[in-house]
Amino acid sequence: MLQKHSKKEARELQVLFALIDLYLEIGKPIGSNTLKDHGFQSLSSATIRNYFATLETQGYLRQPHASGGRTPTNKAFRLYASEMIGEPQLFPHIEEQLHFLKQIESPNLSRYLQKAAETLSETTGLATFLSSVRFDHDFILEIKLVGIDHERVLAVMITDFGQILTEILSFNHKLSSFGIKRVEAHLQWRIKGGEEPENLSPEEEGAAHLFYNELMVRYLVRYSNFSDEDIYRTGFSRLLNYPEFNDPIALTTGLSLFENMSHMRLLLSDCVRNGSLSYWIGSDLAPYASAAQGCSVIAIPYSIGHSRAGAIGILGPCRIPYKTLFGTLSYFADILNQALTKSLLKFKLTFRQPRSDSPYLTHEEKLAHKLLEIKEKK
């Protein structure tokens, strides 16, 4: 690593960082004349080439073509990021794009986090992933049924906090598309009340009771046992805007981290444990996704009140504006802290961290009633 012990070394570092800044902007190899025209008029092109040669020997630059300019290596990006992480930059237009998230107060916290992740992805142009605690006192608000074939149906459960849960259910009797809709109406009545649907055939009524009991038990088990953080992911297609991902193989290998939920949780958990803005560039990602070494990830933990609740990560190529993204993520984490804290206080909500030792039953009265209801309906 470069050491700032002499004027020559300091100038080498200055040349390297200037080259990286320009490369991040234009994405093309930088020649000595180009760099000279961007702030180094006091140096001759020959002197700049000498600096380039030294930096190349040290592993910070490479020359894709014998007579062409230089590009920074991942080692150079790591050095650059280590310097810039203490000088985050937040542009006013980015602050303006994210500011509205601070004003939202809603009990629908899962949907809020999804919206926040989508907004961050849109603002940065990168894939975004976010880990979250689980919010208590949630309940099923709506159930939708979609027929798959003559023996299976997809049940989509939407909760009050905006979670979308899916289950595949099987049945013995053939149900028409109209029959599935009548069963769905029966499930909605069981959840919301009102006037009981009529004209169900015996097969449809049997399926309705079976589906309701099965979904309630599955939801109870899922709600009570929470061993992993909830993960929100978005913005994959935005990576197509980067020339580094024009090759489908490069795109799919770069996104391999997103296909392994345990590794994604591990990376975000490591960020939470670090307690600060963190980055992984190139081979740094090997412990989480060995195929994603052409990418970089920046992540930062966020809190609710004084408790760390999760982390937000963005993934892109190694050529990303680190200084700006450091500032953007820091501001985004502050927004989540403020908005989530206000919503929890206003709506008197609680949350919990993952645990694997025993089930969690905070509103056991309602859950017990559900189980008794299921038992009595059998």
Digitized pLDDT (tens) for each residue of the chain, 378 residues in all: 445 457 778 889 999 999 999 999 999 999 999 999 988 998 999 999 999 999 999 999 999 887 789 999 999 999 999 999 999 999 999 999 999 999 998 888 888 999 999 999 999 999 999 999 888 878 899 999 999 988 899 999 998 888 889 999 998 878 889 999 999 999 999 998 888 998 899 999 999 999 999 999 988 887 777 667 889 999 999 999 999 998 888 888 888 888 888 899 999 999 999 999 999 999 999 999 988 888 999 999 999 988 999 999 999 999 999 999 999 999 999 999 999 999 999 998 888 877 645 555 554 445 545 555 555 555
Q: Report the amino acid identity of residue 309.
A: A
Find, among 37, 59, 6, the residue nearest to 282 by Cα: 59
CATH number at residue 112: 3.30.450.40
Number of domains in the chain: 3
Q: Residue 266 domain-assigned?
A: yes
pLDDT of residue 72: 97
Q: How far is CA 15 from CA 20, 65, 66, 85, 256, in A?
A: 9, 20, 20, 19, 35
Q: What domain range includes position 39? A: 7-84
Q: What is the DSSP letter of 67?
A: T
Q: Residue 353 domain-assigned?
A: no
pLDDT of residue 137: 78
* CB of 294 closer than 8 Å to CB of 284: no
251 and 221 in a common domain: no
Q: Residue 113 domain-assigned?
A: yes
Q: Residue 256 domain-assigned?
A: yes
364 and 343 in a common domain: no
R_g of the chain, CA atoms, integer Å: 27
Q: Report the amino acid identity of residue 193.
A: G
Find, among 155, 195, 136, 188, the residue nearest to 360 by Cα: 136
234 and 117 in a common domain: yes
222 and 245 in a common domain: no
pLDDT of residue 1: 45
pLDDT of residue 370: 53
The number of CA neighbours under 13 Å toward the Cβ of 68 is 10
Q: Coil, strand, or helix at residue 13? A: helix
The whole-angstrom separation of Cα 15 and Cα 19 is 6
13 and 160 in a common domain: no
β-pairing verdict for 230-234 and 127-132: antiparallel
List the structure tokens of 222.
């899922």
User: What are the φ/ψ torsions at residue 137 (nearest 5 degrees)?
Assistant: 65, 20
Q: What angle do CA 124, 125, 130 make, to 5 degrees?
A: 65
